[in-house]
Amino acid sequence: MLPLLGGVALLIGLFHTAIPSSVLGTLFSGDPLLDSLTGAGIGSILAGNPVNSYVISEQLLADGVSVFAVAAFIISWVTVGIAQLPAEALTLGTRFAVLRNSLSFLLSVPIALLTAMFVALSGGTL
C-alpha cells in the first residue's frame, strides 16, 4: 500500500507544480454558478489538505477571484480527489470511492453558493 500512496503524493505534487495558483485566477468569469463549477472542477483535480487551501484561497481572493469560486475550490480541494481515486478504490472499493467523490463534487457547488451568501449577509464582498 505504501508505494501506491507514495505515487498518489507524487502525482498531486506534479499537478501543483504544473498549474500554479496565479494561473487559476485567470480561469474565472465572475458568474456565480460557472465560477463555482470551475472552482469545484479545479479543486477536484488538484486535491490537497485544508492548511494549503487557506493559503491558496487567500491568493485567489487577492487576485480578484470570487468567493463563489474560492469556496467551491476549497470544498472540492479537500473532499474530492481525482488523483487519489485509484488508491481509494483499491482500499475502500470502487463503488464507494466513485460515489463519495461524485457526491462531494456535486455538493461542493450548492455549499459554495450558500457560503458566498453568508459572506454577503455578514457584510463581506463577493
How far apart, in whole angstroms, are the C-alpha atoms of residue 115 and residue 97? 26
State residue 5's pLDDT score: 66
pLDDT tens digit string along 8-37? 677 667 766 776 666 766 788 888 999 999
Q: Which of 38, 49, 41, 56 is nearest to 8 (CA)?
A: 49
With both helix axes pointing from N to C terminus, report the angle between 50-62 and 67-79 in degrees, rounded to the nearest 10: 160
pLDDT tens digit string along 55-80? 778 777 877 889 999 999 999 999 99
Please give the mean pLDDT across all residues of the chain: 85
Q: With 70 as the cut, is the pLDDT of residue 45 above it?
A: yes
